[in-house]
Structures are given as C-alpha cells and as structure tokens.
Amino acid sequence: MLKPIRKTLTGQIEYWDTEKKLVVVGSGGSDDLSAMTVAQLKEYAANHNVTIPATVTKKEDIIKLLSDGK
C-alpha cells in the first residue's frame, strides 16, 4: 500500500510503499493512482472525503472518479 509521506518543492509527492519497504516518488496525478489497487484507491478516496458509489467497481472507473474530483 502506498502512503503519502510528503510533497517536495517541485510538487512531486513521495509515498512509502509498505509492502516493498521503499520510497516511491510521483507527481500526484492519475499515474500515481494507477499504481494503486482497488482497495488502496477506496482507502485513498475515504481519506480525501470522496464517496465512491456502489455501482463504481472497476479500477479505471474509480481512478476517473478520483481524477475528476481534484
């Protein structure tokens, strides 16, 4: 699971990968979301107060919903 740690001066977000035990650097865009599993995306949505409708179950649809909400 990727957990955001901090935002760098260049605007990139550093994540801690709890499974691989390493730091992953991303821009905070939809590319970072695509690296997450459906469970991680749902947790990310909950942390950002985004409600995912029960009818939205596919990873691509969840990413689209989260990207549109930014």
**In Å, how far are 12, 13, 16, 17, 19 from 9, measured between CA atoms?**
7, 9, 18, 21, 26
4-34 per-position pLDDT tens digit? 888 877 777 888 888 888 887 765 555 578 8
Tens digits of residue pLDDT in 26-63: 655 555 788 888 998 898 888 888 899 999 999 999 98
Would you say 17 and 27 are in contact if contact means Cβ atoms under 8 Å apart? no
- Cα–Cα distance, 15 to 34 (Å, whole number): 14
pTM for the full model? 0.56
